[in-house]
Amino acid sequence: MKSLWQPTLLAVVLSLAGCATTKKPVVALTGDIMVDGPNAIANGPARDRVLWQYRLAAAAMRQGKFDLAKQSLDDALLTLGGIFGKDPDAKKARSYFHAEAKKTFIGEPYERSMAYIYRGILYWMDGERDNARACFRSAEFEDGDAVQNQYAGDWVLPEYLDGLATTKLSGDGSDAFKRAQANAKGVKLPPYMPNANALFFVEFGPGPTKHATGQYKEELRFNTAASPVTSAELKVDSLRIPVAPTDDTGFQATTRGGRVMDHVLGNKAVFKSTTGAVGDVALIGGLTTAAASHDRTAQQVGLGIALAGLLSKVVSAATVPAADTRAWDNLPRYLSLASVPLSVGQHTATIQFLNSAGQVQTNLTKTITLNITTTDRDKVVFVSDTSVTPQTL
């Protein structure tokens, strides 16, 4: 007996020692994205880095910290642009025994598109209209493989901005305008004004979130809560410009259609269910046989079947079909744009956010002082209903 326990104890100790090296980095969250973001990017799991970079970039833009937003998005887009070919984490996410959330997060197509839209706005702020246009084209491109063709590449603002940038670069933006207008069902887009040197990118409302349904949480679903803000109004000098939403991220999230990964998760769920059922049958049948029989051989067979059933149950329990519900959770619901020509000098712009009844949500009103130094370069203003106010640009 002594000869059994000594090697067994050694094996257990070795096993536990091995487990000690598999600890995952845990990042304590404070609830302040400007603290949690950098901390999670630096110390959190590598697979969540892009998620935090997305979140940090959106928050930084709303606080006017555009350099931080650029840095976060540039790094995130590098990951996004280089995911081709073999990826051990993605392979793991497809395996029966790991959750989908094991893969490196790059987001669903609507999240990827939003990363490019934000980066495009930042390029435009820096006067790089063609790089901004490149980003808007990539934003549309990310949405290009929706299951139903009518929802493929159907963002309005990126298409509209593609044409506007082209027009401002002395090109012909009319094709992009037509595509944008075709996508903007029910909204009449303003024609391009090449002399409109002040561009107001406006976003409002809470964006979509993710949750999982199904017996094993294998089905990815999106929540789009009713937005307390449904439109906005821009006042600058003597102008009052209504700002209706051109894009709805909730619509983009829910119209992509089924993912290839959904089939993988479906298979995992079937496997988990089948192995569980087989385990139940084998366990009950085997134990019943062993208990009921007086024949030693039959008892051994029964116990063998029960053991096989137990193994099947273990395999079932280890199978993880859960969908990845990590989400870029500080996205806006609606996007829009307003553009006006402003002369050189100081101007004060006020953006009011309105609810579905057309009432101004006074606590959300933003004031921005614009210093226009030249009419040759666009003054790009980014305004969210959660932006800091007042701002001077």
Rounded to whole angstroms, the Cα distance separating 112 from 114 reads 5
Strand partners, 240: 235
> Are the CB atoms for 200 and 383 separated by under 8 Å?
yes
Stretch that binds other proteins, among 49-57, 203-211, 257-265, 349-357 (CB under 8 A): 257-265
Shortest CA distance to 377 belongs to which of 157, 124, 166, 137?
124
Of 31, 85, 186, 345, the residue at the interface with other proteins (CB under 8 A) is 85
Complex with other proteins: residue 19 or 226, whichever CB lies closer: 19
Site mask for other proteins (CB under 8 A), range 306-345, x = bound: ----------------------------------------
Q: Report helix, strand or coil for 349.
A: strand
Q: What DSSP designation does 348 have? A: E
Return all residues near 153 (Cβ < 8 A) that are at least 6 apart. Answer: 140, 141, 143, 144, 146, 159
**Radius of gyration for the chain, computed over Cα atoms and rounded to the nearest angstrom:** 27
CB-based burial, 298-310: b 16+ in 10 Å, e otherwise: ebeebeebbeebe
Return all residues near 256 (Cβ < 8 A) that are at least 6 apart. Answer: 108, 109, 110, 143, 146, 147, 151
Asked whether position 18 contacts other proteins by CB under 8 A, the answer is: yes
> Are the CB atoms for 249 and 332 separated by under 8 Å?
yes
Shortest CA distance to 161 belongs to which of 187, 195, 183, 137?
137
In whole angstroms, the minimum distance from the beta carbon of 18 to other proteins comes to 6
Of 34, 90, 187, 301, the residue at the interface with other proteins (CB under 8 A) is 90
Question: Could you tell me the two tokens for 255?
Answer: 């119209």
> Are the CB atoms for 334 and 230 separated by under 8 Å?
yes
Rounded to whole angstroms, the Cα distance separating 357 from 38 reads 39
In whole angstroms, the minimum distance from the beta carbon of 161 to other proteins comes to 13
Complex with other proteins: residue 128 or 329, whichever CB lies closer: 128
Stretch that binds other proteins, among 11-19, 184-192, 211-219, 310-318 (CB under 8 A): 11-19
Of 3, 150, 238, 363, the residue at the interface with other proteins (CB under 8 A) is 3
Asked whether position 82 contacts other proteins by CB under 8 A, the answer is: yes
Q: What DSSP designation does 191 have? A: P
Stretch that binds other proteins, among 29-37, 239-247, 258-266, 331-339 (CB under 8 A): 258-266
Stretch that binds other proteins, among 58-66, 77-85, 177-185, 379-387 (CB under 8 A): 77-85
Of 48, 75, 128, 329, the residue at the interface with other proteins (CB under 8 A) is 128
Rounded to whole angstroms, the Cα distance separating 230 from 66 reads 26
Of 59, 61, 68, 106, the residue at the interface with other proteins (CB under 8 A) is 106
In whole angstroms, the minimum distance from the beta carbon of 321 to other proteins comes to 13
Complex with other proteins: residue 77 or 184, whichever CB lies closer: 77
Site mask for other proteins (CB under 8 A), range 148-177, x = bound: ---------------------x--------
Of 55, 119, 179, 347, the residue at the interface with other proteins (CB under 8 A) is 119
Asked whether position 81 contacts other proteins by CB under 8 A, the answer is: yes
Site mask for other proteins (CB under 8 A), range 265-294, x = bound: ------------------------------
Complex with other proteins: residue 149 or 297, whichever CB lies closer: 149
Instruction: Tell the residue number behind the tokens 């329990």, with chain if given.
Output: 317
Complex with other proteins: residue 10 or 35, whichever CB lies closer: 10
Complex with other proteins: residue 153 or 206, whichever CB lies closer: 153
Of 27, 261, 301, 310, the residue at the interface with other proteins (CB under 8 A) is 261
Of 47, 49, 62, 137, the residue at the interface with other proteins (CB under 8 A) is 137
- The full DSSP string for 222-281 is EE-PPPS--EEEEEETTEEEEE--SEEHHHHHHSS---HHHHHHHHHHHHHHHHHHHHHH
Interface ranges with other proteins (CB under 8 A): 1, 3-4, 7-8, 10-12, 14-15, 18, 22, 81-88, 90-94, 100, 103, 106, 119, 123, 128, 130-135, 137-138, 141-142, 144-145, 169, 259-261, 264
